[in-house]
């Protein structure tokens, strides 16, 4: 097991290395005069920063040489200086990651908690009205762009009914402290999370359903029934544990889409998170931040995959490393 | 058949199936039912189970498949019965009908009854009418089943012990954990694989033969009255097959349960069975004691089967094979299903499906050829 | 067993990351709230706030902050909004845009061709930390603006104040010094001989070669030259002669020769991307103290509350430049201030301290929190708390109607006005003229032919677009200047009206002819590349649509680039577009030099005319209003004749108020371009 | 005995004939049968057919152009088209016109016919969907096929590459690439092609992974070993024998992906890096929903594109689901 983890970590590093090459070459393909253009007109950006960016991406050096020096910097945690914030990218990421993480992880947990039972119910009643309804609603959730959902839901829940705040992270008017502040945060995060969950649950639910269908026709489920186990236990224990295996692998893969989604959701709801900053940096030509953000997500994704793989071994005894 | 007709036909089938499914779903929803609905009387209290004109149909998209079409036989207490036939003849479906494990709503018991003698409770129940809750008490407890494919019948993510003890705990709710474990070990010992740490192993850590033994142990764990073994050796190596068969035979004497052995392998039947039922296309064509069937086969199909079995010490140029294929199970003609492949068929065979006729007290056959024999004897 | 342990470990690890992720802000680390609990709190909150007299926080909806809350350095108007609350200015604008006394007074008198401004402060002013306000604080601001390394928005350092140039130029980046000193310099007071030698013999030629190579590469990309070594052809395309087989260095030398050694000019004019000096080693950008001028002679402290500023020449907005300035506490910002080093001042950009109506509390969660300054010289503000919250443009109206915010400025449209009228019980609004205008500009370098430009002008159908987009909220203007400026010639007639036939005539005059359905000259089709920001919601979009259609009919092509605003700005600045759609804002006077002067920093149309320059210079020194207005009209006519700027509209700005929370009667009686709620924030009350 | 043989022969023939008369179906027919029994899948197919007709044929029927604007006489309220000779002093642009006979869904904020733009927009959205999926299939099948067939080092390298592309978050990467588009001065007409290519390149990893998995399992199958023993060329083996057997799953992925690509296009348009003005796509038309005034007052502008996206993506998903259930014989009842 330990050996396997070590092997996986090594492989992750290799992948990360390849990702970095890819990202670096994208940064490299930014035309030089574009850097000058984008940065030249902005008084915030000093020639030093321009120079720093050229240096960072080695625009003045050969590809190989440039990459080596960039990698060296990156390994030391230097992903460049954000043009917009005039701070090291790593610091910017640190200071804005709390809302993004909260949003992403709560949504992920909710998605899993909802998708699994619903997927199982749909599978149990394949081709029934219940099945059709659950699947149709879930797929509808993934059939509209998130900004569309967000706008319409906000129109309905916030502006129309006034149940939830329209945007922002806290109620500006009130000076909440302690638990009230926490509740206030929660209220502001509810709508973004709903949007996230609606948008993410369909894929997972469908996956659960398909796997459940597969498992339900497996021999060992028939065996379990032949033992006289009540249906509840057949599904809840024997079938469920087996559907869990593919689901675990899927969860690790959800991370990139969660963070991609943050770009839109945070923008719409004025949440100060990494996604919104990323969106702003496009408008500001803040390439160092965008690169750093992508690198950050790549690392998270790899960690997610790693955890998935390890969990995979935990839930499936057949997997031995 | 023109395309239009076919379309029309499919539409009719669909409509018909929809009706059947609806009925089925309605029945399934009933978890409990008054005892009077399912408690019944055995024809002979010596029997553990009696099949009476059992009809199990599959309502598929292209028509109704009569997988089991009016099968009647019984199993005596403590006896072993072998059910023989080519694949697709309905023998597995018969066993699943007993267990109530048909894939609903497509597969349903369409008629007849399966009377099961609950010796302990001094009553008999009709399994086809049993509500789900009652069924769960019988499955795995009074009737247990050994499946064909040991590789997939065990749940890969639970340990052997877990799966074994689960069954014991379920049917013995008052048992303590320690006793359950002891019982599990006992059953493992019975099947000859008791070893330290055995209970903590996962199925994938065992060989095929070992797994089948675990499956058998599971079937034995609650002292069932009836064990249904559905091709228990087919998926195994020849040497392992022999071991498992030895084991089964050994156990048969030890546990005093009835065994319903389903197989296409006549050799296995010859070794194990007291009685033999030969099925073809969902119907019983011949039944009798092992002696009756092996030494006095009456039905042309049985004869064909016997001929196709290689015998030690006999020289044949070519192994015999029954000509033709098993007929398509949908909309079978009215006449004898075997007629088209039969080498001995006579003009009378064109008529209605032949009745089952008794050749002796134990030996019954369904063939026009033998009509005269009965008469002759009489 | 091992596995079970591992899974527990993993769960713990995951929870830990989650906690770390949410550590600094307790942002909803748990799952969503229990909905019943949520509604309860909402009800409570609603109850508490509807009781009369309980609103104690004014929330202003604004847009993204840069977080630079310093009146000396802020760039974004939204940061400026916050600064206005925290700092006081000596003088401010009244509703008519005239400079009036605030914390002090300014006077000007002419003395021997020089103009002396005397600034006097009120006595008894205090900063919010209790320190008294003195004239040193104002002078400190002047010195920050005039610092050789100042890089903020203010143009104070360029004013014609006595001694200003000496002070500003008393230090310069090393390369500039070296360049000015030339290679023959023998004065090594500020740098040593080796540096100079290395600069002129190695680094400059290297940078020059790189600079030239960039041009060559550009030519190669553009297809003018075959490959990167084909310097000769590329130079030819660029207008220089370099012998066959010449190197990039030769090319550079050729350019140096052509510019007579004026490298600054060379770099600005010829650059294919990088400036020549960007290509130098960064060490050369360090500032070098040239002279020990440590004072601006024109700025003199008279006493603790008075100073004078002496201008060498007349400046029509001199009073504003001198007195419409914030009082920044020198004892706070200037502790470590040295000439040539503003870092210590900038370090306080996120912790402002002033003498304004409010004091800074915090900036987090996208909200700037301010508290009333009890010692404010106009009286303590009535509303104890003031918050600026970043909101989305699209939700501003809803936020007001929902009561989340109290004041904000959505972009004015007929629908918003209608919605406000509909909700007259809940909200109020005011409309003021925007001190700016929208225009379509043409780059005279990319479209050098006047007739082509005129033709393009004749294809711009402005009225229907502006009318249908803004209705009553905007008007079509005929000269490139905002009508809120008094000098704007209100009776100006349209120069180019929409007339496709006439446009075609112009094009033909320019030498274009229609061949096979294409409008061509020398075999090349007329293709105009235009940039517009966020086209899907832009009033000028229909103009371009019609234009593209008409040009397609003629056989020409209009390539419309829908760009993000920042990108559009960059492309306009980089001269990459033939035509662009943009707007100017925040104009307070009739000074046009930035946009139309030959040396103007915003002269993106690259049209240079001595005549216009002369007029502009004259305007800036003409103190008499009527005379000045006439000159302005003349200047604007010249600009129109050059067909480089098509003014499109001047619209209204909107401010909307939450009538439930706000006592609307305490808003200014007259809200104008120059005067809004913020101008008398201390009088504003809440219900 | 002779007699009997004759009879048997006759009887066997009889049986054959009888079976011919039965309702017999080929595997393909069975799949189709199972597919069409799924009601949602049928609905999906119907929607896609209608949408395609709407987008392909629609523009030929519509009397208006994609970016044609309409003028309105401010005094009389009579509408004019942009080609007419007009007295411009009287004209306004007919923006946000309500639903009328001339404009079935009114006009948008720029005075263009919404209904017509829906047709053109659908063309773009569907084209983007199909082209991107084709690109990702080409790359994915090729690399997945190689990885699955050769295994070992080739597999290792390709799978790492797959992981690399998995770790790239789509939207943020598109944000960076959009600055590249700007940097390289790509004009709006060509931008859409670049977007399609880039999306295809970013999206192939899933296909490759699936194809590889399929091929790994197929390779072990007997028929493949049979093919192996005949000594046919490797490329032929991979792309003639192995890949076609992965077709069902590939078609499945393709169907599902078309839907998600259409969604991605709309998100990109929302972020301002997608299909640029003046070209219509359902995505950039649906963006109007974020304008709260349009959301409130002009459902005829924002709802139709949203609805079409919803229906189309839903349809592709339904079809995909139906196909999966139909292809998988274990799922039959």
Of chain A, the end-to-end C-alpha distance in Å amounts to 5
Q: Which of C47-56, C456-465, D35-44 has the highest mean pLDDT?
A: C456-465
Question: Pick from C334, C289, C319, C294: which is nearest to C159 by CA?
Answer: C319
- Check CB contact of D91 with chain C, cutoff 8 Å: yes
Query: Which residue of C536, C537, C574, C649 is the best one to mutate when testing the D interface, meaning the one whose CB has the most D CBs within 10 A?
Result: C536
In a shared domain, residues D89 and D145: no
Confidence at residue D130, expressed as pLDDT on a 0 to 100 scale = 92
Does residue A64 sit in the same domain as residue A114?
no
**Residue found by looking up tokens 């023993």 in the block:** D229
**What residues in A contact D314, CB-CB < 8 Å?**
136, 139-140, 143
Give the one of A223, A242, A318 whose C-beta lies nearest to B147's C-beta: A223
pLDDT average, residue stretch A224-244 = 87
Q: Is residue D142 part of a domain?
A: yes
The CA angle D109-D110-D112, to the nearest 5 degrees, is: 105
Kindly report the nearest CA distance between residue D185 and chain C, in angstroms.
Answer: 9
What is the rounded radius of gyration, in angstroms, for the C-alpha atoms of chain B? Answer: 22
Q: Which residue has the tokens 């033998």?
A: B370
Contact call for D278 and C394, based on CB within 8 A = no
Virtual CA dihedral for C667, C668, C670, C673, nearest 10 degrees?
Answer: -100
State the nearest Cα–Cα gap between A160 and chain C, in angstroms: 9
Which of A29, A145, A263 is opposite residue D309, by nearest beta carbon? A145
Residues A162 and A239 in one domain: yes
D239 shares its domain with D105: no
Per the model's pLDDT, the better-predicted residue between D37 and A151 turns out to be: A151
pLDDT on residue B319: 67
B6 in contact with chain D, both atoms CB, cutoff 8 A: yes
Q: Please check whether residues D164 and D292 belong to one and the same domain.
A: yes
Subunits next to A (3 or more Cβ pairs <8 Å) are B, C, D
Q: Which of A288-297, A309-318, C565-574 has the lowest mean pLDDT?
A: C565-574
DSSP for B285-329 reads EEEEEHHHHHHS--SHHHHHHHHTS--TT---SS----SS-PPPS
Cβ–Cβ below 8 Å for C57 and A173: yes
Residues A59 and A115 in one domain: no
User: Is residue A128 situated within a structural domain?
Assistant: yes
Instruction: Say how far apart CA D163 and CA D176 lie, in whole Å.
Output: 20
Query: What is the number of structural domains in chain D?
Result: 2
Contact status, residue C464 vs residue D88, Cβ threshold 8 Å = yes
Selecting from A145, A285, A297 the residue whose C-beta is nearest the C-beta of D266 gives: A145
The closest alpha carbon to B67, from B118, B99, B106, B15, belongs to B106
Report how far residue C685's alpha carbon sits from residue C676's, in angstroms, rounded to the nearest whole number. 14
Scan residues 45-74 of C and list those with Cβ closer than 8 Å to A: 45, 49, 55, 57, 59, 64, 66-67
- Tabulate helix, strand, coil % of chain B (nearest 5): 40, 20, 35
Tell me whether B347 touches chain D (CB under 8 Å): no
What separation in angstroms does the CA of A168 have from each of B12, B266, C392? 60, 78, 9
**Which of B62, B330, B344 shows the shortest C-beta gap to D4?**
B344
> Is-contact D317 D44, C-beta < 8 A?
yes
CA distances from residue A211 to A120, A124, A131, A140, D297 in whole angstroms, order as listed: 9, 11, 14, 20, 45
Q: Is residue D72 located within the same domain as residue D153?
A: no
A92 assigned to some structural domain: no
CB–CB contact B342 D8 (8 Å): yes
Cβ contact, residue pair A19, D168, below 8 Å: yes
Mean pLDDT of each 10-residue bin along chain B, 378 residues long: 74 82 77 80 86 88 82 88 85 87 82 86 85 85 86 87 88 88 88 84 87 88 87 80 83 82 84 88 88 87 81 66 73 78 78 82 84 55
User: Which tens digit of pLDDT belongs to each residue from C90-144?
Assistant: 999 888 888 899 989 999 898 888 889 999 999 889 999 989 999 999 999 999 9
pLDDT bin (cut points 50, 70, 90) of residue D54 is very high
Residues D127 and D141 placed together within one structural domain of the fold: yes
Q: Select the residue of A220, A224, A225 nearest B152 (Cβ to Cβ).
A: A220
Of A102, A175, A190, the CB nearest to C29: A102
Looking at residue A30, its pLDDT comes to: 67
Whether A229 and chain B come into contact, CB under 8 Å, resolves to yes
Q: D120 and D107 share a domain? A: no
- Look at residue D26 and tell me if it is in a domain: no
Residue C640: what pLDDT? Answer: 93
Q: How many domains, in total, are found in chain A?
A: 2
pLDDT beyond 80 at A35: no
Q: What pLDDT does residue C173 have?
A: 67
pLDDT on residue C581: 92
User: By the 8 A CB rule, do B314 and B330 touch?
Assistant: no
Highest-confidence segment of B58-67, C20-29, C346-355, D67-76 = C346-355
pLDDT of residue C9: 42
Co-location of A43 and A192 in the same domain = no
- Can you list the positions of beta strands (E) in chain B? 39-40, 47-60, 63-76, 80-84, 107-118, 123-126, 143-146, 226-230, 258-263, 275-280, 283-289, 357-358, 364-365
Show the tokens assigned to D8. Answer: 């048997």
Would you call D12 and B327 a contact, using CB atoms and an 8 Å cutoff? no
**Cα B219 to chain center, whole Å?**
15
CA distances from C622 to A63, C301, C316, C488, D252 (A): 59, 28, 7, 15, 77
Residue pair C452/C507 in contact (Cβ under 8 Å)? The answer is: yes
Q: Which residues are bridge partners to C300 per DSSP?
A: C308
Distances (CA, A) of C513 to A72, C507, C525, C555, C625: 60, 8, 9, 10, 48
Look up residue D266 and give its DSSP letter: H
| DSSP element (H, E) containing C33 | none
Residue A226 lies in a domain: yes
B63, D23: Cβ pair inside 8 Å? yes
pLDDT attached to residue C32: 34
D224 within some domain: yes
Which of the four pLDDT bands, split at 50, 70 and 90, describes residue D24?
A: low
Cα(B267)–Cα(B334) distance, integer angstroms? 32
Q: A62 or A22: which carries more pLDDT confidence?
A: A22
C454-495 residue pLDDT tens: 999 999 989 888 888 888 888 899 999 988 888 899 888 999
Q: Could you read off the pLDDT of D256-285 as tens digits, one per residue?
A: 889 889 998 888 888 877 887 778 889 888
Among D77, D111, D145, the domain boundary falls at: D111
How would residue A59 be classed by pLDDT, with cut points 50, 70 and 90? low
Residues D262, D299: one domain? yes
Claim to verify: residue D250 and residue D284 sit in the same structural domain: yes
Cβ distance of D23 and B10 shorter than 8 Å = yes
Based on the domain organization, do D205 and D128 belong to the same domain?
yes
Going by C-alpha positions, the residue among C256, C357, C33, C299 that lies closest to residue C141 is C299
Chain B: residue whose CA lies nearest to A239: B155
Taking the CB of residue D139, how many other CB atoms lie within 10 A of it?
18
Closest partner CB to C394 (pick from D71, D72, D291): D291
pLDDT of D25 > 50? The answer is yes
Average pLDDT over residues D48-73: 87
Q: Hey, which residues 13-72 in chain A have their CB within 8 Å of chain D?
A: 14-16, 18-19, 22, 26-27, 29-31, 34, 38
**CATH number of the domain within which D119 lies:** 1.10.3720.10
* pLDDT given at position C597: 85
pLDDT at C44 over 70: no
| For residue C75, pLDDT beyond 80 | no
Q: Is C10 on the interface with D (CB under 8 A)?
A: no
Residues A11 and A63 in one domain: yes
The yes-or-no verdict on residue D250 having pLDDT over 60 is: yes
Q: Which two tokens stand for residue D122?
A: 């659908």
Q: Which two tokens stand for residue D288?
A: 């109007």
Burial group, residue B36, by CB count within 10 angstroms (0-12, 13-18, 19+)? exposed
Q: Identify the closest residue of chain A to C5 by CA–CA distance.
A: A314
Q: Is pLDDT at D309 greater than 90 in this prediction?
A: yes
What is the pLDDT, as a whole number, of residue C29?
Answer: 34
- Do residues D284 and D197 share a domain? yes
| Whole-angstrom distance, CA of residue D38 vs CA of residue A132 | 10
Question: By mean pLDDT, which of A184-198, B327-341, C620-634, D260-274 is the weakest?
Answer: B327-341
In a domain, A113, yes or no: yes
Could you report the per-residue pLDDT of D106-156, keeping only the tens digit for each? Answer: 888 888 899 999 999 999 899 999 999 999 999 998 998 888 888 888 988
Tokens 């208006």 identify what position? D64
- pLDDT attached to residue C78: 87
* Band of residue C442 on the pLDDT scale cut at 50, 70, 90: very high
User: Any idea what the Cα angle at residue B166 is, between residues B160 and B168, rounded to 5°?
Assistant: 105
Whether residue C171 contacts residue C271, with contact meaning beta carbons closer than 8 Å, is answered with no
Return the higher-pLDDT residue of D66 and C511: C511
Residue C83 banded pLDDT, cuts 50, 70, 90: very high
Q: Which two tokens stand for residue B176?
A: 């303590």
> Could you tell me whether strands D70-73 and C645-658 are parallel, antiparallel, or unpaired per DSSP bridges?
unpaired
Instruction: Identify whether D305 is part of a domain.
Output: yes
Question: Chains A and D: how many Cβ contacts under 8 Å?
Answer: 167
Give the 3-state secondary structure of C555-589.
CCEEEEEEECHHHHHHHHHCCCCCEEEEEECCCCC
Q: Do B328 and D19 touch (CB under 8 A)?
A: yes
pLDDT at B376: 43
- The chains found to touch C (3+ Cβ pairs under 8 angstroms) are A, D
Helix (H, G, I), strand (E, B) or coil at A1: coil
Residues of D near B (CB-CB distance < 8 A)? 4-5, 7-8, 11-12, 14-15, 18-19, 21-25, 33-34, 37, 333
Domain that holds residue D118: 114-327
Chain C CB contacts of D192 under 8 Å are none
Angle at C21 between CA C18 and CA C27, to 5 degrees: 95
Q: Which chains touch B (3 or more CB pairs under 8 A)?
A: A, D
Non-local CB neighbours of C421 within 8 Å, separated by 6+ positions: none
A180 vs D29, more confident: A180
| Whether residue A184 sits in one domain with residue A38 | no
**A41-55, A235-249, A255-269, C388-402: which has the minimum mean pLDDT?**
A41-55
Residues A55 and A124 in one domain: no
Pick from C2, C29, C39: CB nearest A1: C2
CA distance, residue B62 to nearest chain D CA (Å): 6
Count, residues in chain B: 378
Torsion over CA of B335, B340, B341 and B345, rounded to 10 degrees? 70
> Which residue reads 């009601």 in tokens?
D39
Provide the ipTM: 0.75
Higher pLDDT, C18 or A116: A116
Residue A81 within any structural domain of the chain: no
Q: Is any Cβ of chain D less than 8 angstroms from the Cβ of B3?
A: no
**Nearest chain D residue to C574, by CA:** D183
Those residues whose C-beta lies under 8 Å from the C-beta of residue A206, and which sit 6 or more positions away, are: A119, A135, A138, A139, D321
Residues of D in contact with B1 (CB under 8 A): 21, 23
Q: How confident is the model at residue D172 (pLDDT cuts 50, 70, 90)?
A: confident
**Cβ neighbours of residue C681 closer than 8 Å, sequence gap 6 or more:** C85, C357, C358, C381, C383, C386
Span D232-239, average pLDDT: 74
What does the CA dihedral A230, A232, A233, A235 come to, rounded to 10 degrees?
120
Domain match, D188 and D287 both: yes
**C254 vs C325, higher pLDDT:** C325
Q: ∠C647-C649-C650 over CA atoms, to 5°? A: 115
CA distance from start to end of chain B: 48
Q: Which residue has the tokens 């008075």?
A: C306
pLDDT computed for residue B377 by the predictor: 44
Give the rounded distance of the alpha carbon of A32 from its chain centre: 32
Strand pairing report for B258-263 and B80-84: parallel
Q: How confident is the model at residue D49 (pLDDT cuts 50, 70, 90)?
A: very high
- Least Cα distance to C344 among C75, C72, C67, C133 occurs for C72
Q: Compare B240 and A59 and report the one with higher pLDDT.
A: B240
Q: Counting beta carbons within 10 angstroms of the beta carbon of residue C497, is it exposed (0 to 12), middle (13 to 18) or buried (19 or more)?
A: middle
> Does residue D219 form part of some domain?
yes
Query: Contact B328/D5, CB-based, under 8 Å?
Result: no
Q: Is residue A133 part of a domain?
A: yes
Q: List the single residue in D164, D172, D292 with the smallest CB-CB distance to A260.
A: D172
Q: Domain containing A193 — which CATH number?
A: 1.10.3720.10
Answer yes or no: do B132 and A242 touch at CB < 8 A: no
Report the pLDDT value the prediction gives residue C289, as an integer from 0 to 100. 66
* Residue A21 belongs to some domain of the structure: yes
Q: How far is CA D40 from the centre of its chain?
A: 17
> Does D32 reside within a domain?
no
The answer on D124 and D232 residing in a single domain is yes
| pLDDT given at position C49 | 40
Taking contacts as CB-CB distances below 8 angstroms, the residues of chain B near A318 are: 156-157, 202, 204
On whether residue D100 sits in a domain, the answer given is: yes
3 state SS of D152: helix
- pLDDT of res. B315: 65
- The pLDDT of residue C359 is 93
Residue-range definition of the domain harbouring residue A272: 98-315
Contact D23 B9 (CB under 8 A): yes
């Amino acid at each position: 097991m330990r050996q396997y983890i070590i092997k996986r970590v090594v492989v992750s590093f290799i992948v990360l290395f390849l990702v970095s090459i890819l990202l670096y070459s994208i940064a490299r393909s930014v035309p030089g005069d574009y850097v000058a253009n984008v940065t030249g007109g902005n008084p915030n950006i000093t020639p030093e920063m321009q120079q720093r960016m050229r240096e960072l991406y080695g625009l003045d050096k050969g590809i190989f040489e440039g990459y080596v020096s960039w990698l060296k910097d990156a390994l030391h945690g230097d992903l460049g200086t954000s043009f917009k914030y005039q701070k090291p990218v790593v610091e910017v990421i640190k200071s804005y990651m709390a809302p993004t993480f909260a949003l992403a992880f709560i949504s992920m947990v909710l998605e899993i908690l909802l998708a699994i039972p619903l997927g199982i119910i749909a599978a149990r009643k394949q081709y029934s009205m219940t099945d059709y309804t659950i699947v149709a609603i879930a797929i509808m959730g993934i059939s509209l762009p998130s900004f569309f959902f967000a706008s319409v839901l906000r129109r309905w829940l916030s502006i129309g009914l006034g149940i939830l705040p329209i945007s922002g992270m806290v109620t500006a008017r009130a000076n909440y402290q302690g638990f009230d502040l926490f509740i206030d945060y929660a209220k502001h995060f509810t709508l973004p999370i709903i949007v996230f969950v609606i948008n993410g649950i369909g894929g997972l639910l469908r996956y659960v359903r398909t796997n459940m269908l597969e498992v339900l026709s497996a021999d060992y489920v028939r065996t379990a029934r032949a033992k006289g186990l009540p249906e509840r236990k057949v599904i809840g224990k024997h079938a469920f544990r087996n559907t869990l295996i593919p689901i675990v692998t899927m969860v690790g893969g959800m991370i990139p889409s969660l963070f991609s989604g943050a770009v839109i959701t945070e923008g719409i709801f004025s949440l100060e998170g990494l996604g919104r900053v990323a969106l702003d940096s496009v408008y500001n030509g803040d390439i160092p931040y965008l690169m750093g953000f992508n690198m950050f997500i790549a690392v998270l994704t790899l960690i997610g995959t790693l955890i998935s793989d390890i969990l995979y071994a935990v839930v499936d005894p057949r997997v031995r490393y | 058949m023109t395309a239009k007709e076919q379309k029309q036909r499919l539409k009719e089938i669909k409509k018909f199936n929809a009706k059947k499914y609806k009925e089925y779903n309605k029945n399934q929803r009933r978890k409990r039912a008054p005892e009077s609905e399912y408690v019944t009387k055995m024809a002979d209290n010596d029997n553990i189970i009696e099949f009476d004109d059992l009809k199990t149909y599959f309502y598929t998209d292209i028509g109704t498949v009569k997988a089991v079409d009016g099968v009647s036989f019984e199993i005596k207490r403590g006896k072993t019965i072998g059910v023989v036939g080519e694949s697709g003849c309905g023998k597995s479906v018969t066993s699943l009908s007993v267990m109530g494990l048909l894939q609903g709503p497509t597969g349903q018991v369409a008629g007849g009854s399966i009377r099961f003698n609950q010796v302990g409770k001094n009553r008999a129940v009709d399994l086809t009418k049993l509500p789900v809750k009652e069924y769960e008490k019988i499955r795995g407890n009074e009737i247990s089943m050994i499946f064909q494919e040991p590789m997939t019948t065990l749940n890969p993510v639970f340990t052997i012990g877990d799966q074994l003890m689960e069954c014991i705990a379920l049917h013995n709710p008052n048992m303590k954990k320690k006793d359950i474990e002891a019982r599990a070990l006992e059953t493992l010992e019975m099947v000859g694989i008791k070893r330290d740490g055995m209970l903590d192993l996962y199925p994938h850590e065992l060989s095929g033969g070992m797994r089948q033994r675990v499956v058998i142990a599971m079937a034995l764990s609650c002292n069932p009255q009836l064990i249904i073994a559905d091709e228990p050796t087919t998926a195994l190596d020849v040497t392992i097959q022999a071991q498992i068969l030895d084991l089964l035979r050994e156990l048969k004497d030890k546990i005093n349960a009835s065994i319903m052995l389903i197989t296409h392998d006549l050799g296995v039947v010859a070794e194990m069975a007291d009685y033999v039922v030969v099925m073809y296309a969902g119907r019983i064509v011949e039944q009798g004691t092992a002696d009756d069937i092996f030494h006095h086969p009456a039905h042309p199909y049985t004869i064909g089967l016997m001929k196709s079995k290689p015998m030690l010490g006999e020289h044949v140029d070519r192994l015999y094979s029954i000509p033709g294929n098993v007929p398509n199970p949908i909309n079978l003609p009215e006449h004898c299903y075997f007629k088209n492949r039969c080498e001995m068929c006579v003009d009378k065979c064109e008529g209605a499906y032949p009745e089952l006729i008794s050749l002796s007290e134990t030996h019954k056959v369904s063939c026009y050829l033998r009509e005269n024999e009965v008469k002759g004897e009489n | 067993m091992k596995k079970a342990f591992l899974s527990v470990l993993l769960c713990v690890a995951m929870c830990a990351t989650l906690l770390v992720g949410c550590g600094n802000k307790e942002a909803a680390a748990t799952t969503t709230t229990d909905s019943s609990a949520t509604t309860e709190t909402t009800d409570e909150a609603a109850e508490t706030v509807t009781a009369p007299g309980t609103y104690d926080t004014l929330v202003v909806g604004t847009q993204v902050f840069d977080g630079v809350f310093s009146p000396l350095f802020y760039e974004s108007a939204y940061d400026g909004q916050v600064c206005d609350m925290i700092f006081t200015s000596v003088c401010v604008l009244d509703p008519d845009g005239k400079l009036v006394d605030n914390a002090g007074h300014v006077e000007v008198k002419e003395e021997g061709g020089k103009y002396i401004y005397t600034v006097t402060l009120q006595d008894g002013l205090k900063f919010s930390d209790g320190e008294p306000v003195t004239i040193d604080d104002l002078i400190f601001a002047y010195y920050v603006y005039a610092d050789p390394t100042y890089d903020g928005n203010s143009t104070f350092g360029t004013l014609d104040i006595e001694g200003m140039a000496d002070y500003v130029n008393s230090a310069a980046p090393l390369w500039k010094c070296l360049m000015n000193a030339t290679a023959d310099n023998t004065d090594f007071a500020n740098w040593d001989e080796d540096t100079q030698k290395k600069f002129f013999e190695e680094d400059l030629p290297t940078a020059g070669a790189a600079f030239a190579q960039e041009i060559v590469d550009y030519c190669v990309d553009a297809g003018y030259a075959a490959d990167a070594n084909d310097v000769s052809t590329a130079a030819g395309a660029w207008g220089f002669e370099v012998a066959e087989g010449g190197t990039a260095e030769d090319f550079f030398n050729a350019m140096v020769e052509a510019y007579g050694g004026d490298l600054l000019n060379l770099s600005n004019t010829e650059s294919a991307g990088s400036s020549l000096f960007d290509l130098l080693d960064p060490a050369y950008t360090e500032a070098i103290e040239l002279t020990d001028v440590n004072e601006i002679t024109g700025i003199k402290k008279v006493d603790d509350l008075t100073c004078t500023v002496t201008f060498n020449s007349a400046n029509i907005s001199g009073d504003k430049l001198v007195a419409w300035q914030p009082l920044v506490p020198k004892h706070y910002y200037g502790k470590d201030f040295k000439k040539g080093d503003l870092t210590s001042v900038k370090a306080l950009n996120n912790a402002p301290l002033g003498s304004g109506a409010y004091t800074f509390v915090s900036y987090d969660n996208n909200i700037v929190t301010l508290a009333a300054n009890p010692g404010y010289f106009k009286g303590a503000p009535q509303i104890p708390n003031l918050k600026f919250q970043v909101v989305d443009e699209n939700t501003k109206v809803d936020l007001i109607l929902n009561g989340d915010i109290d004041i904000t400025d959505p972009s004015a449209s007929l629908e918003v006005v209608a919605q406000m009228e509909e909700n007259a019980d809940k909200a109020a609004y005011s409309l003021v003229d925007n001190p700016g205008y929208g225009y379509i500009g043409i780059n005279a370098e990319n479209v050098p032919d006047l007739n082509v430009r005129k033709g393009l002008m004749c294809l711009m159908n402005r009225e229907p677009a502006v009318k249908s987009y803004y209705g009553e909220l905007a008007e079509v203007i005929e000269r490139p200047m905002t009508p809120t400026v008094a000098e704007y010639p209100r009776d100006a007639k349209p120069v180019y009206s929409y007339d496709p036939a006439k446009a075609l005539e112009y094009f033909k005059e320019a030498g274009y002819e229609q061949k096979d359905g294409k409008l061509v000259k020398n075999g090349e089709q007329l293709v105009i590349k235009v940039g517009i920001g966020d086209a899907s919601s832009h009033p000028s979009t229909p103009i371009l649509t019609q234009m593209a259609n008409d040009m397609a009919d003629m056989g020409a092509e209009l390539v419309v680039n829908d760009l993000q605003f920042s990108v559009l700005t960059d492309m306009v600045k980089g001269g990459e577009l033939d035509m662009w759609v943009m707007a100017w804002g925040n104009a307070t006077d009739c000074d046009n030099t930035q946009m139309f002067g030959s040396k103007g920093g915003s002269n993106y149309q690259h049209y240079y005319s001595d005549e216009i320059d002369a007029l502009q210079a004259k305007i800036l020194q003409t103190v008499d209003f009527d005379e000045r207005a006439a000159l302005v009209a003349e200047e604007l006519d010249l600009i129109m004749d050059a067909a480089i700027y098509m003014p499109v509209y001047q619209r209204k700005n909107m401010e909307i108020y939450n009538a439930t929370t706000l006592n609307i009667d305490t808003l200014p009686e007259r809200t104008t371009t120059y005067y809004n709620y913020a101008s008398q924030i201390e009088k504003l009350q809440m219900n | 005995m002779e007699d009997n043989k004759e009879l048997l022969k006759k009887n066997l023939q009889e049986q054959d004939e009888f079976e011919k008369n039965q309702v017999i179906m080929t595997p393909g027919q069975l799949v189709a049968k199972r597919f069409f029994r799924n009601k949602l899948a049928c609905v999906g197919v119907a929607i896609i057919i209608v949408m395609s007709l709407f987008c392909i044929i629609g523009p030929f029927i519509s009397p208006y152009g994609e970016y044609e604007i309409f003028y309105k006489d401010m005094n009389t309220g009579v509408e004019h088209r942009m080609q007419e000779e007009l007295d411009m002093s009287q004209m306004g642009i007919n923006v946000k016109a309500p639903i009328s006979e001339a404009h079935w869904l009114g006009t948008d904020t720029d005075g263009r016919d919404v209904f017509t733009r829906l047709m053109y927009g659908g063309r773009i959205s569907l084209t983007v969907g199909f082209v991107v999926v084709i690109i990702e299939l080409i790359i994915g099948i090729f690399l997945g096929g190689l990885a699955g067939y050769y295994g070992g080092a080739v597999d290792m390298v390709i799978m790492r590459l797959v992981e690399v592309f998995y770790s790239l978050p789509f939207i943020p990467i598109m944000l960076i690439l959009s600055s590249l588009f700007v940097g390289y001065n790509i004009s709006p007409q060509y931008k859409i092609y670049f977007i399609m290519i880039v999306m295809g390149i970013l999206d192939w990893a899933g296909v490759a992974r699936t194809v590889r998995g399929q091929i790994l399992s197929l390779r072990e199958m007997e028929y493949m070993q049979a093919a192996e023993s005949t000594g046919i060329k490797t490329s032929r083996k991979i792309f003639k024998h192995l890949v076609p057997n992965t077709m069902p799953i590939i078609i499945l992925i393709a169907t599902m992906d078309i839907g998600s690509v259409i969604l991605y296009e709309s998100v990109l348009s929302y972020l301002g890096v997608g299909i640029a003005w003046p070209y219509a796509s359902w995505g950039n038309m649906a963006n109007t929903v974020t304008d709260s005034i349009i959301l409130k007052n002009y459902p005829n502008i924002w709802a139709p594109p949203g609805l079409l996206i919803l229906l189309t993506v839903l349809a592709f998903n339904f079809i995909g689901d139906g196909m999966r259930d139909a292809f998988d014989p274990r799922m039959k009842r």
